[in-house]
Amino acid sequence: MDRKMNRFWIFVLSCSAAGVLLGAASSQAEINQCFSAVQPSNECLTQDPILKTVEGMSVGLLAGAGAAVGVTWQMFSTKE
């Protein structure tokens, strides 16, 4: 692999990791807000917090990887 491809994969990996962290934090904040409501909904009480956190992490992973690919594509297309 050449140097540009290595940088690309490192960029995708770092953006994906940031997305996972932000997705987990976001879903955890949503869970805490749901449980601290005066009258929690039935959906709030029946959902699994771990499953909700994993769902947020997976969405963050996809969003981070997609953003990294989009930014890299934009950078390469404007250079030519």
Domain assignment present for residue 12? The answer is no
Helix axes 3-35, 49-79, angle to 10 degrees: 150
Count of structural domains within the chain: 1
What are the backbone dihedrals phi and psi of residue 27, each rounded to the nearest 5 degrees, phi first?
-70, -35
Q: Structure pTM?
A: 0.81
Domain assignment present for residue 31? The answer is yes
Per the structure, the complete domain to which residue 74 belongs is given by: 18-79
Q: What pLDDT is recorded for position 41?
A: 85
Domain assignment present for residue 4? The answer is no
Domain assignment present for residue 33? The answer is yes
Domain assignment present for residue 56? The answer is yes
Q: What's the distance, CA 24 to chain centroid?
A: 7
In this prediction, the residues of the chain whose per-residue pLDDT falls under 50 are none
Q: How far apart are the first and last CA of the chain?
A: 21
Residue 36 has what DSSP assignment? T
| Helices of type H across 40-79 | 42-46, 49-79
Domain assignment present for residue 59? The answer is yes
